[in-house]
Structure 1
Amino acid sequence: MKKLLVSMLSLLLLTVLIPQFTFAAQADIKLYFNGKQLNPEVAPRKIGDYSMVPVRIISENMGAKVSWDQAKQMVTIEKADIYMQLVINKKEAVLNSKAITLEAAPVLLAGNTLIPVRFVAERLGLLVDWDDATQSVYVKTPDPSNGGTTPTPSPTPTPTPKPGVPQITSMESVGDQIIIKASGPIKSKLMYLSNPERLVIDLPGTTFGSGIMVPGAGQMGGVWTANPSISAIRYAVNDPATSTIRVVVDLKVKSGYSLIEDGSKGQVVVQLKNAKYKVVLDAGHGDQDPGAISISGKQEKDFNLTMVLKVKKILDQNPNIQVYLTRSDDTFVTLDGRCEFANNLGANVFVSIHGNKWVPSTSGSETYYWRPESLSLANIMHKNLVAAAGLPDRQVRQNDFRVVKYTNMPAVLLEVGYLSSPNDEPQMFNAAFQDRVAGGIANGIKQYLNLN
């Protein structure tokens, strides 16, 4: 398969050096989280009108996952349904796959990344105050309600409903069910995410009714729950453009789920249940679609199927995983059919396996993803793929291939190697190589699901 090459812009050395001089004269400020003063390795400081704090504080005290890409000089912050990418010395950032402009650009200082605390903290559902007299920043979680599991939103007047737009009138947790009621028929989209475990319910084309406490700006509403496997149920407007309300069910343990009522009758009912992780393995191409033809005349579809069957054999040994195949023999399944298969299953992970083709000099392994929630899976899978294959590392890349764009769960497409490469092709049809790579792919899936 031919792929477009993605070029990466490297930062000039000056952009790294500037922060070391610019901020040396800035006075340190104090940082408090829920009343406790924090003392990070590099002190927070005021840069211009904005309070900047080390990104490590976000990870250690605010319950977010933070990762650093040295090559791109980029920090990624993930928590529940929040996903942010911030680049050193750039105000342009990404929030849930949308371009935004920061109040202040992140900077490097003594090897630490400093980020604007108000912007990040408020998007994680926290409150931020500044005390000018003591030069202190106070970050705190909103007051707990109903047992302390869920933030309490600031009261906000219920918006005037738009004509014809269904209103969400109630949300409740009853036993093992999440029940959402509306004033009329609504659509629902479910997605299960791991690391941490959570169920996401999107309700596009809806608004809040009078029976719902509307969260304030930068905050989330909460639903009381007595279910011991649920740590919190949160909701907010996720996408104003499509008027989508997002409900996030934070889980303490891995859980299965089933959609009992889809909203077509004005009610969404989701049943939580104990279940295995559902992993869909997709062997690219098939039947009349051979895929790429290798330099020795072999067909990509055969390589893909062989790899999928080997990965399945390994994963079948884990009692916590149930493997499903989009095809188990030389048959043809449409791209939309593959997506529909995985979506209907409510799968937790989707992995599509392929062989690549370009010019003979191109060699190596690539991993593709599209949606932000798939990036964590892509990074883990790629690391394991490259280590097992031993081919050149051609990086994790973003591309809107249909099977990773229209699947609801975290999804990746693995290009194991290049069938057009005299270096890669002989290895790709070698049984020992295939067994090694199949083990790497299986390990990546288990690592993502915390089953290693």
Structure 2
Amino acid sequence: MKKTGFLLFLLLFIVMMVSVQDRAAAAAGNVQIILDGNELKVSKDTKVTNVNGSTMVPFRVIGENLGFDVKWEQKSQKVLISKDSKSIELIVNQKNATVNGKKLSLDNPPLLQNNIVVVPVRFVSEQMGIHVSWDGANQTVYLTTAASDPPKSDSGTGAGNGDVPVPDPLPGTSPSGGTSTTEPGEVSDPSTTVPPTSGNALISGISFSENRLMIASQGSSITPKVFKMSGPDRIVVDLPNAGFSSDFLGGANAAAGKQGQLDVSGYPDVTNIRYSLFSSSPSTVRVVIDLSSPKEYSVYSDPSGPGLLIIDLNKSDSTPANPVGGNGKKVVVIDAGHGDQDPGTLGYSKKKEKDFNLAVAQKVGQLLANEPNIDFVLTRSDDTFLKLEERARIANDLNADVFVSIHANSGPIAASGSETYYQRDASKALANVMHKYLVTATGLPDRGVKYGNFHVIRETKMPAVLLEVGYLSNPKDEAALFSESVQNNVAQGIVNGIKEYLGIQ
């Protein structure tokens, strides 16, 4: 009897394991890739799979469907992908890639599955300038080339549907989760809207600097509803017919359930800024600025079309606020590279590049706040993610005078020093001035001013540079870059370089 019972248990266990494996196999093969509205076709034995959150595709699919030149080196286990002036080198089971000679880290390495090499589609596509978004509810990856509009079937809600209210829900919400027609203490401002358009916009970045909340979006125009509430004092920004970009909601934000908050330390008027997908019918993003006391505000957006919405708290009761760069001030955009789910390079002791970039950018912002002839904007003021094209578009929409992107480098352990990159001839003079101050500030070897075809300094319209402050892969450089004194020196050097270039005393 015991033997019979054991055999029955064993049989049941085998049936359960087969069922689990079948479901896993079905899930693995259920990921779709849509390129400019058309599904990529792959053979039966080359299914698209999801590995630890990364969509992996056979590297041949990349070449056949995206027009890249792909090669496989059997002996070295390398995948070589190239198009125009961009080249990518991937190695099976290695979490480092080489892009135009520069090493970058991967969340998941290329794999060899059933004698077929699969590669992470997001990494390859974005390096080649293709926009990638993820619809978790439908297990679909959308690829959009520069010549195409963002796919309308991608709602931009990331991990799926459902309402997630802002923490500490506001009074006056309807039972369904949307906003009621009027809310207690609501003060509407009809001048704060821009012409509406059909379809959902995608919120791709939220940042706060110089007492200004900036919301970057793509796709359709947004008609914001901005109003004040009391008990406690706050400014509410509702963005109807809008959702979050899947990139913006990656990493920690996705895990938190489509909600998050910004770091507002150093701004006494504001105690917190929080955001969430407030409603899904219609899809509505809500951003709340919690205030220490009642505060006036003004709202303006890029007049040329959708892209950048600014809620400016620098407004007195009697004087309307000026847009960024008002009163003849020079406009400077400081870009902290990477952020959130994109850590950048990892250092010798696993410190993250994104943390160094942000720390220096915030210090630069604190110094620029004391410059009466300079108005500045940080592309990100905390650990959030902003796509490369959004960083460049913020600077372009603001008609900035200078753009500075802050990064740290990676390479062989012996590599050390500071580099400054420019892409256009109009940026060479800025690069020379910035590099002079950078080398002095770090005390690291001078690796020179160099040409680099980086997106943020290529697509910006004003003089723009990308600073590689030092090598995190070198233990001595890493220790220096994460010291408070060097970060302060670098921040001051950046400010001094900007002032010299702009001719400001």
TM-score calculated relative to the size of structure 2: 0.36
